[in-house]
Amino acid sequence: MKLTPYLIIPSICWMLLSAAFNAGADTTSSPLPPSVHTTTPSWAQGYNFSSGYTWLDETEYLPEIAADSYIWQERNFQVQLSKSIGTGRLGFGYIDGTIKQKNEIYNDTDFALTRKAPFALLDWRFSEKLQTRVRVRYEEYSDDGRAGFYQLGSDENLWTGYAMVSYVESRWWVNVSHSRERDPEPIYDAANDRVALDISAQALSGLTFGWLWSPQWEAAAAVYYEAYGSDRPDQFNYTVQVTHKPTWLPQLQAALGVGYYTEEVDTLINLTLNYHKQLYKDLSMQVEYQLEYSDDEQSLLNQGRLLLSYALTSQFSVTASTEYGKESGDDQDDSLFVVASVDYRF
């Protein structure tokens, strides 16, 4: 299931990951590039060093056999160093990770790979209203031993990343973006009755427009075109969303969105509740709940996220997040996503 509509509005997104972690674990959670649903980059002067670890487990349910078919496991360690330059920030980093798919039917491993990815980033603010963000990664995949049923044999490479231009006025904003990521959708191997990994790119291009019609109400709409390097047919996806921030509880934001995918002929309806609170002077908490319905899969997703951020000093902070999702209905997938990061400014 794609967790789509609410992600198109940056103002209500969870505030854990810096741009560094856009290169982290792949999920099918959103058709939108990371540039659309991350926080505003920091324009603080000086150097910034960040390091973090991501842990992703996703269990795929197969309705035809009424049982789990495989478990996707991905781990990534990442470091990044950036420096302010003029009205922007330039940085470089490296990702060291592993990807494994455990077959629940045959009780073995479909594939096990290592992932190495140096990357570069540039954030540039032309004015208070206009800014751009660019990320470029060179990803290299190799066999992680001989445990996998499928073997790459030789290393495979993939260029990924994204670029976005954002313009903000007092009552409206617009994002134009293009992203290229590894397609997380596996390929069914009928001869062996397994699911194989396809290391190919998924490109996503489009725009998001938002309008703040009052301090408590915001509306947004997005149009994106998905292009695949595999045999999957290309498609458009359309999303609209309304967000409300009640005056009686300003820490809470509620969003209702609808998304439609032209090739999959799937309509998604998503309700998101997001609550942020400063627990102590240096400790903040964010709790988020999502309820999403998929018409094509005839399934209902319940997903929750807890985020804690603690500033040990004015320069050093740590952040941790845990997210768990479970589907019910015809599709019964579940996922666990854990992130821990440290950030130091000097």
Q: 3-class SS at 22? A: helix
Q: How far apart are the first and last CA of the chain?
A: 41
The pTM for the full model equals: 0.85
Query: Average pLDDT, whole number, for the chain?
Result: 86
Give the per-residue pLDDT at 19. Answer: 29
Q: 3-class SS at 305? A: strand
- Residue scoring higher pLDDT (19 or 319): 319
- pLDDT digits over 13-47, tens only? 322 222 223 333 333 333 333 333 334 455 567 89
Write out the E strands in the chain: 47-62, 67-85, 88-103, 108-125, 130-143, 156-168, 172-182, 187-189, 194-196, 201-214, 217-228, 235-244, 252-261, 266-278, 283-294, 299-311, 316-329, 334-345
Give the residue numbers spanning the domain of 341: 5-345
Can you tell me the distance from the alpha carbon of 311 to that of 278, in angstroms, rounded to the nearest whole number? 12
- pLDDT digits over 125-173, tens only? 999 999 999 999 999 999 998 889 999 988 999 999 999 999 999 999 9
From 166, 111, 179, 122, select the one nearest 144 (Cα to Cα).
111
Task: Please report, for the domain that includes residue 31, its CATH number.
Answer: 2.40.160.40
Give the per-residue pLDDT at 204. Answer: 95
The number of domains in the chain is: 1
Q: 3-class SS at 5? A: helix
